[in-house]
Structure 1
Amino acid sequence: MNDPSVAPKGTSFNLEKFVDYASGSVVSKTLLKRDLGNITLFSFDKGQGLSEHTAPFDAVVFILDGQAKITIGGEPQNVKTGEMIVMPANISHALKANEPFKMLLTMIRSKE
């Protein structure tokens, strides 16, 4: 039985279409969760975001659709469809949707 919230294994699929927008909300789907890291797909409605926080590991964000303001260490930057940014471990970061946007978040746990 296939769980629709988990990435299909052994077959291709469209990431951008795998998560829908929800009015006034943030939607997340964990595609892969392992001891060494996670891959999570998100959609954010305009104005939604994640408040400032830190993580103990580097995180890679790839924008699949739309545009977001991503602030790292107090420095905001606009990241748009097709762009990627690495959020360094232990540095504060936050995200806010300038317009509805979707992103793929990959976090790799390491001792570095």
Structure 2
Amino acid sequence: MEIKKPEISEMETAKAHIIVEIIEYVPNSVVIKTIIKKSTGNISIMSFDSGEGLTEKTSPFDTFAQIIEGSAEIVIDNVSSHLDTGMGIIIPAHLPNYIKPNGRFKMIQTIIKSGYE
């Protein structure tokens, strides 16, 4: 699996975007593009090719994950949730989690850093 590093540039502001078209699938890869990055949190869009997911990790911040195309399984603290297009889930801070693919899918990930001072 190859993970493409997030692009540093943010999306153009004050312009409408079709979010699902901002990022493309790349064979055998997970692609991550930053939509907006601030000290209080960031929003990224991700595409996962078939068979690609993310290994278990634990974040110090709450994260909201929303599937915008396809479907995936998100496992939080050993509890599995199946998400289809349009569905989202809050991944609480400090809980182990990982993403299991269900074919190709795209998602938006929003990390909230404020409130942890």
TM range (shorter): over 0.9
Taking the TM superposition and a 5 Å limit, the aligned residue runs for 1:4-43 are 6-43=10-47
Alignment equivalent of 2:104, drawn from 72, 93, 100: 100
SS of the counterpart of 1:16? helix
Q: CA deviation at 1:9?
A: 0.5
SS of the counterpart of 2:31? strand
Q: CA deviation at 1:25?
A: 0.5
> 5+ unaligned residues in a row in structure 1: which ranges?
none
TM-score (normalised: structure 2): 0.89
TM-score (normalised: structure 1): 0.93
Runs of 4+ in 1 over 2 A off after TM superposition: none
CA distance in 1, matches of 2:71, 2:30: 14
- Report what 2:57 is aligned to: 53
> 5+ unaligned residues in a row in structure 2: which ranges?
1-6
Q: CA deviation at 1:60?
A: 0.2
Q: CA deviation at 1:76?
A: 1.2
1:36-71, Cα deviation, whole Å (9 max, x unpaired):
001000000111011001000100011100001100
Alignment equivalent of 1:66, drawn from 59, 65, 70: 70
Q: CA deviation at 1:96?
A: 1.6
